[in-house]
Structure 1
């Protein structure tokens, strides 16, 4: 197999070269070669699109017919699409007869297809592309056997066609090369951990009543002046001691900690926490567990705690110097709305989190030095260092050293093995020589074997063969196919099974490929597909882009936001696992809920923090992704909703028909945050502008159907207001909403075909009539994500074929994935 160039060539340069090469196939050079096109344009288009009128900035009389050139090709594709959808000629103009329209569309379609296919034969569908940030992190972690975060070291990737797997957006720059070097150094340093072995794993129980910080707070008498210079510094108890526990409140201070438990070594720890809710008032209290280093904190987990004592368990990674910080939610306020600050804690009747004890076991180690050392150095002898000769690296004492019998021979063997795994294929003869030379030259210069090997490993992890996917135009070989399949479903490199099948040239056999696709889908690693595909298709990655106004949405918090994304991912995974019809994305009879999300949706009977499949009540407006809080939040701005934003999202994400950008100079519609004027009233004024009416007739109706949902996905019949309005009802005793209820919501609308709806339930029934279009759109999204290339004109027939075959088998999502993998587009560059 030919290798890539030894130097890193910018992707943009390669793309330009490939396009220029394709353009040399100038098989169509003038309008004279296509009389059907010429006559149609003269008769039906030139009146508005000539040099004088030039409507929309388009002069068709000056537009050459030369689709071998990319810009010209793109322009004619736009023209074809506007005509085939009936947008052009406009409705006010005479419609072309079928005898004119059919030859025009057939001629232009065939020639554009041929032009596109000619280009693909030279360059392939997919340009040379690199690993994106997520793929890089997961690949290096699997390659080295580490868990060290790496993604945030690298610059953001640029999504193209909706995904960060597409080659057009995955360019290389000087900054990226610098960051790859930094990330490689970080990863190698984490993997080569030869420090003194940590103390053996221990298991110890700690009682919150005995914690030094807690005891100090409780043992100081109420009212004691803690600062003699400040008479107002009287100590106030904000914790409550019970015979078997200490009660903590999220309105109080301090938070729950066990100061005696302070991990001295980074690693995995098994934690068990015991507690219950004191004075629950009929509602659970959420216990949030953080790892805290006094500068930042990481959420490790959250749990619903009730009056029934509960022991929760979790196995988590804790870093050296971190401690546990445990905080309750939904506590510290009584039935009258007063918090623990205002009432003596002994007389306070509101709920609080009663914590009993923490049991910590760890660090949990398989062996020492860790397995990552063996991943890099194989069977190279590892010996304890002389304890009398203390050496340090990065402020950590070294306890082991590598002792190869023949350092240079070992360097060659280790680097060849590592490069083959990293490059995801066997090496060619001599391909590893330059990496070996880096290490052996360093040894000759006096570097230790270990430092010299760091140079070699670093060079491999920054080599083009590692960073870029090696694919040649035409059908992929088995190794390239193994990588494409693995990165599609796992976002990481192929495992041993895939590599073995590739070596035997069996992977490309249809029955073998199907079996391996099924195996990958059943593996835990397939969570990456759910997160990375659904996260971009449905725009879940933008969940934190806005912060709901606390005065309008006081119930929104960190855990609700986490639950929003978790719900949608669980929903996607359920459809994938059970091969349910993709129509469930439009409407479903079930939802994936935990207590938090069920309360937001006002669905009763769901308890606990775990997500599970829940049958929806008859007549529920929920079901499908459109009514999930994650989608409703990312299509709102945190204060108000916009039918335009939500309608455009439905057209683009669900139907694959993104609206055209607004004409130049047309302002946006600014919602009235006071709640005095509804967005529908403002849009009615906007649509009076002639240039806006056409697009808004398509965009607004889906958005109007979703107006019954607020910015966090809750159901509403009236808008929330910070101005005039009626008092909002109290959902929990003592929790008085700071907002008012304003004008009523109007969720009616009319589609361009005249179909009318009243609310989301009726709208979803109309949307289900477009299931075929939805399946076609989802097919295009999946093929784009999987292959690293957008859907070109020539790919349209492929997408149609895949969608049709999937529909014939019941339109299942798992079936669609299999059909994508089986397609020539997936199996070719």
Structure 2
């Protein structure tokens, strides 16, 4: 669809809805009347020793950070500790490095720890005092629903599971999160995507008794093992895939399964090394909601050149409308280990490309499954979506309008996240009448629902400034969010979807902003299962878990690694963090916990006995090296290369993700580690030995002295996170010295050294929590609030809820500047 066509369609469908948004809503950044009440603060100024701190800066820091050397592109020759509040941007950089212990760097002259920490202590007190006099909550534009929020909002509104990736383009990330407002760009293509999604989803939700046959294809990722059972598939099966598919109407559907074939066109898994040569032929079963609906027998002689190719079709199968779980999986024909000469590869791609050789057992592999239909539709059954939508059923034509109004107003109030205005309802009823005139009651409701889902009120998260505005652009001020906007911020923060009925009711009654009520709602929402999004979205993005999708350890070196193991690793970390939220545990357990969550596949990988089945359960770690997040396979795998571990990636991950202080990028023209010598005297070098060769380059040495000891402390974990004692035949040497001089010999030493300096860990977690909560990157003027939240959490044993309550009570969460220019006025400092 062209840009002009997209705009025309949008205006035709949404014209009255767009107008009902109002100019003051769309132009969120308009300057407004000053509204800057003081929110409660726990900070109180402390005595400072600025003179002593200034002396340390001049005798230690300026040795490298001067006008001539300009280490780190920073000169402190003219920096005055007493004026830290006037140069807060630079001061905050210094505070971060000094609190982590990264400055002075390894090898440099290091004053006493108390003298070093006197610098950040003095500057923090001065910056906090100034921030109290001139609060700056920051500014951001309005947000739109990203993929994850869109899917969850549809689920809450219509009880319909949809994959937003089928409709919306990928979300742009900033600060590692996908909900940052200023990178959520709008375009005609994106607009068309929302319109298309509204049309398709409204049709699926209401159902279509006149639906024409169409085909949906689901591909098996090439990394999924076809030897083991896939999660969700029936017991006694292997391989295949499991999907949830929304069937548009009651009727007959045909299922097609396609198999991998060799380059010759012959079915893969049909040769001399195949189990297919047994008397019982291979079979694949199709099941719907756990009930077997078809069994297909695989002809070992099928060929890609056959009229039907390497595909099998079922007879038409009667299925009702709505979401159903569909599985296509092979019936397992063998038990016990395969007696292969070498370990069989688990990855489908590897098996089909290199495993068809003597010494391997080969099996047929599923490539994709397609669902085609409906044929001869017979109507629409009562689906969860229809039960949610149709709260009334008119028996007479005269009752249809009243019933439609009830349905539409209920849905729109929930979707718009605020009470419906008369103009809103009139616009939607116009759409209903247009749909009803072409069919009957249900098509009218469907048309109105499409309008709701395409409305700016649903797609965008507007935050209303005060009604009184000023045209004076020199005014730099802020305002408190109204109750409904506060409810939306809170629900998208904790649930990644809109407010529920109770939260909306409390906001409508103007009680949500009361401190006691707000805290009560926070605890209620954290106890709700929907708060799992704090693990699957906040923690996952903070810890870089999505990067696991890009990691594929070498199949010849790690033949047991497959997609099922990778998914189990990610799920372990998500469940681990979710447990901290649900049980309101202390943040320190993220680093020190002696327990984790595993299923049978992951327990086998870790060497944990007596765990059976796909379900995850809590287990205790006997080995202290596995304690906390640094022992998780997800972290250890995503910080490795395909064929070897990477102390650099692991050290960089700890510095950036946990400590919030990433190392600088490598200098240009420095060779990668793979390009250095890999063998010596006929023996392959260990990773540590190769690192030492790499560090012989003076351009690399200074940074690697800081990064490498962290990663080397984790060197006993291989690429897949399994424990080892040798690397290329050489005993693992994990010894080193942390940047602050602390000796390291193993993962336990590293963990204890990190926890000993608690402020950076607490501060980094708080920063990421705030970024995710408010939808913008943090700036130097946000740091006083970050430290205040950490200080309050310390008084409550760093319980997760104390951080969340601190963020929700912060000015950055509850207030907003009236314009972008407001935030550069902070204390006379530079942005």
Q: Under TM normalisation by the shorter chain, which class is it?
A: 0.5 to 0.7
**In 2, distance between residues paired with 1:481 and 1:792?**
22
Residues 394, 403 of structure 2: 8 Å contact kept: no
Secondary structure of residue in 2 paired with 1:163: coil
Distance in 2 (alpha carbons) for counterparts of 1:233 and 1:661: 51
State the superposition RMSD in angstroms: 5.4
Match of 1:745 in 2: 732
Query: Which of 486, 489, 494 is residue 484 of structure 1 equivalent to?
Result: 489
Cα distance in 2 between the residues matched to 1:141 and 1:697: 50
SS in 2 for 1:158: coil
Instruction: Return closer, same or farther for 1:336/1:422 CA change in 2, 3 Å cut-off.
Output: closer
Quote the offset at 1:568 in angstroms: 1.5
Q: How does 1:94-493 map to 2 (within 5 A)?
A: 120=136, 124-195=138-209, 238=276, 254-257=282-285, 269-271=289-291, 318=324, 324-326=328-330, 328=332, 331=335, 333-335=337-339, 337=341, 368-373=381-386, 375-381=388-394, 405=399, 407=401, 414-440=407-433, 450-451=442-443, 453-471=445-463, 472=465, 474-493=479-498
Whole-Å Cα distance in 1 between the matches of residues 425 and 312 of structure 2?
A: 42
Structure 1's unaligned 5+ residue stretches are 23-35, 198-205, 210-231, 247-252, 264-268, 274-292, 298-315, 341-349, 353-366, 384-402, 720-740
Task: Give the equivalent residue in structure 2 for 1:575.
Answer: 580
Q: Provide the secondary structure at the position in 1 that maps to 2:144.
A: coil
Q: Contact (CA 8 Å) 1:779, 1:816: kept in 2 or not? A: yes
Q: Which deviates more, 157-166 or 329-338?
A: 329-338
Judge which range, 795-804 or 425-434, deviates more: 425-434
Residues 240 and 452 of structure 1: is their aligned pair in 2 closer, same or farther, counting only changes over 3 Å?
Answer: same
Give the conservation status (yes or no) of the 8 Å contact 2:392–2:407.
Answer: no
* Preserved CA contact (<8 Å) 1:577 1:814: no
Aligned residue-pair number: 666
Shift of 1:437: 3.9
Which residue number in structure 2 is paired with residue 524 of structure 1? Answer: 529
Deviation at 1:713, TM superposition (A): 0.7
**Matching residue of 1:586:** 591
1:563 aligned residue = 568
Aligned partners of 2:20 and 2:424 also within 8 Å: no
Query: What are the residue-to-residue correspondences of 1:671-682 with 2, within 5 Å?
Result: 676-682=684-690
Alignment CA distance shift 1:106-1:120 (3 Å): same
In structure 1, C-alpha distance between the alignment counterparts of 2:772 and 2:144, rounded to whole Å: 14
Conserved 8 A contact 2:282-2:333: no
Deviation at 1:549, TM superposition (A): 1.1
Secondary structure of residue in 2 paired with 1:238: helix
Cα displacement (A) at 1:143: 1.0
Q: From the superposition, tell whether residues 653 and 382 of structure 1 become closer, same or farther in structure 2 (CA, over 3 Å).
A: farther
| 1:802 aligned partner | 789
- Determine if the alignment matches structure 1 residue 683 to structure 2 residue 691: yes
TM-score, normalised to structure 2, is 0.67
Report the counterpart of residue 605 of structure 1 in structure 2: 610
Counterpart-to-counterpart distance in 1, 2:617 and 2:702: 43
Q: Deviations over 1:719-775 (max 9, x none)?
A: 2xxxxxxxxxxxxxxxxxxxxx53332211111222112111222222221234312
Looking at structure 1, the residues matched to 343 and 710 of structure 2 have their Cα atoms a distance apart, in angstroms, of 43
Q: Contact 2:26–2:462 (CA<8 Å) still a contact in 1?
A: no
Which residue number corresponds to residue 307 of structure 1? none
Q: Counterpart of 1:249?
A: none
Helix, strand or coil at the partner of 2:423: coil
Aligned equivalent of 1:621: 625
Seen in structure 2, the aligned counterparts of structure 1 residues 599 and 453 have a Cα distance that, compared at 3 Å, is closer
Query: 1:684: Cα distance to partner?
Result: 2.3
Tell me the equivalent position of 1:775. Answer: 762
Larger Rg: 1
Question: Could you tell me whether the CA contact under 8 Å between 2:435 and 2:446 is conserved in 1?
Answer: no
Instruction: State the 1:550 CA deviation.
Output: 1.3
Moved more, 464-473 or 814-823: 814-823
Alpha-carbon distance in structure 2 between the residues aligned to 1:580 and 1:171:
38
Q: Whole-Å Cα distance in 1 between the matches of residues 670 and 445 of structure 2? A: 61
- Contact map agreement 2:598 2:616 (CA 8 A) in 1: yes
Query: How do 1:649-668 and structure 2 match up within 5 A?
Result: 649-668=653-672
Q: List gaps (5 residues or longer) in structure 2.
A: 1-16, 36-50, 212-233, 238-269, 294-308, 314-321, 345-360, 364-379, 466-477, 817-831
CA displacement at 1:76 relative to structure 2? 7.5
2:553 to 529, 548, 554: 548
Match of 1:787 in 2: 774
Contact 1:582 1:811 in 2 (8 A): yes
Task: Answer whether contact 1:531 1:569 (CA < 8 A) is retained.
Answer: yes
Q: Which residue of 1 aligns with 2:506?
A: 501
Instruction: Answer yes or no: is the 8 Å Cα contact 1:404–1:410 preserved in 2.
Output: no
Residues 131, 784 of structure 2: 8 Å contact kept:
no
Post-superposition offset of 1:628: 0.9
Shift of 1:415: 3.9
- Taking a change above 3 Å as real, the CA distance of residues 616 and 73 of structure 1, as seen in their structure-2 partners, is closer
Confirm or deny: 8 A CA contact 1:127 1:167 kept in the other structure: yes
Q: Matched residues in 2 for 1:296 and 1:115: separation? A: 69
Supply the distance in 1 between the matched residues of 2:139 and 2:595 (Cα, whole angstroms). 39
Partners in 1 of 2:55 and 2:759 — Cα distance? 34
Q: Is the 8 A contact 1:5 1:464 kept in 2?
A: no
The separation in 2 between residues aligned to 1:370 and 1:5, in whole angstroms, is 34
Distance 1:657 1:88, change over 3 A: closer
- Compute the displacement of 1:606 (Å): 2.8
TM-score (norm 1): 0.67
Q: Which residue of 1 aligns with 2:646?
A: 642
Q: 2 CA distance for matches of 1:418 and 1:687?
A: 62
Distance in 1 separating the partners of 2:95 and 2:759: 21
Query: Which structure carries more helix by proportion?
Result: 2
